[in-house]
Amino acid sequence: MSEVPSNEDLSALEIQLGRKARDVHAIAYRCPCGNPAVIETPPRLSDGTPFPTFYYATCPNLTSVISTLENSEVMDEMNARLSRDANLSGAYHAAHDDYLAARSALAKDMKLDVPEVAGISAGGMPDRVKCLHSLVAHSLATEPGVNPLGDEALNLIGNWWENGNCLERRAEGK
């Protein structure tokens, strides 16, 4: 369940990202250590820029292990399975629809019109796997089963939070 970010959350995000976080609407998922790990961002930033990435992974421990996974053959294997497995393709398309619906609901609540991102979700959905960061963020922000390939990537990366508190690690320069 998304929650409004506190000042402490915004400070944590700045440490995680190494810069001030822009236009954070909500904390979509917290790491077991309590820090933000995935945020929700409006589809139009306050400076007017369209921003299709609704769910954004912020925890350096998480993004690091996802990057390592992206450097493997996993995305090629996922793309091959998408092209031949109708059930997986259908479930992945449903994940795309879920992503669009969640972002559209926020846009409607905020009275935002963002035609530039209409039909565009993230991570390559609905036809290919392009960015595991987006797919994992979507899986963490929703329930298991919503994004099958995000869930699969999460299973492959394991307990990413066991690498230590990301804020403490950043303060130590690691």
173: confidence class by pLDDT, cuts 50, 70, 90: low
**Residue 115 clears pLDDT 70, i.e. is over it:** yes
pLDDT digits (tens, 9 = 90+) for 21-61: 999 999 999 999 899 999 999 999 999 999 999 999 999 99
String of DSSP letters for 42-71? -SB-TTS-B----EEE--HHHHHHHHHHHT
| pLDDT on residue 171 | 67
For 114, the domain range is 7-171
Joined together, the tokens standing for residue 72 give 């493997």
Q: Residue 40, SS3? A: strand
Domains held by the chain: number: 1
Query: What is the percent of the chain with per-residue pLDDT over 90, rounded to a whole number?
Result: 90
More confident residue, 107 or 2: 107
2: confidence class by pLDDT, cuts 50, 70, 90: confident
Give a yes or no: residue 2 inside a domain: no
